[in-house]
Amino acid sequence: MTQLETLAQKLLTIRELSARYSSRYQLERAIARGCYSRVTRGTYMHRRDWEELTGEQGYLARVLALALQNQGIIFSHETAALLHGLPLASIPASVHIYSPYRTRVRDFTVHHGELHLPTDSTVFSPGIRATSLARTLDDMAVAASEPRRTLVRL
């Protein structure tokens, strides 16, 4: 079992948690008491499982949770690099996605351009889409060579 599959099994959606409790009040109390840690909006993990994760594993858990909630998005740049298993100097501050259209999405850094789907520039990983390894390396090289500009976290 891969690291991504292990992390995916530990994620709990709000619907899954609701099924475990007889009332919404009991669920809210369990969350308030700290039994579960919030990974993203609507997705949780048992607190003890969350606390055992490294920084990179926590980031990947967030990526997986966002992929479950946002079918069809394509992860790119540093996020795709981590999904491909490439080492990075530090964990990215936000999740990078690729969109061929101008869009505003919360919790993501959105990169724009032309990408026709499906092509060989998209890899279908376990339940998630990421740019291919070659495309990821190209995107990161271009981003590194561009003059530094402030990215607005959307």
Residue 117 reports pLDDT greater than 70? no
The whole-number pLDDT of residue 7 equals 92
Q: Residue 142 burial by CB count (10 A; 0-12/13-18/19+): exposed, middle or buried?
A: exposed
Residue 120 reports pLDDT greater than 90? no
Strand 12-13: give its sheet, edge to edge. Answer: 12-13, 43-46, 36-40
Pair 31, 44: CB distance under 8 Å: yes
The helix/strand/coil state of 47 is helix
The whole-number pLDDT of residue 25 equals 93
Report pTM: 0.81
Per-residue pLDDT tens over the stretch 60-114: 999 999 888 877 788 888 999 998 889 898 998 888 887 666 666 666 677 766 5
Q: Both tokens of residue 135?
A: 């495309």
Q: How confident is the model at residue 1 (pLDDT cuts 50, 70, 90)?
A: low
Per-residue pLDDT tens over the stretch 20-60: 998 999 999 999 999 999 999 899 999 999 999 999 999 99
Residue 150 reports pLDDT greater than 70? no
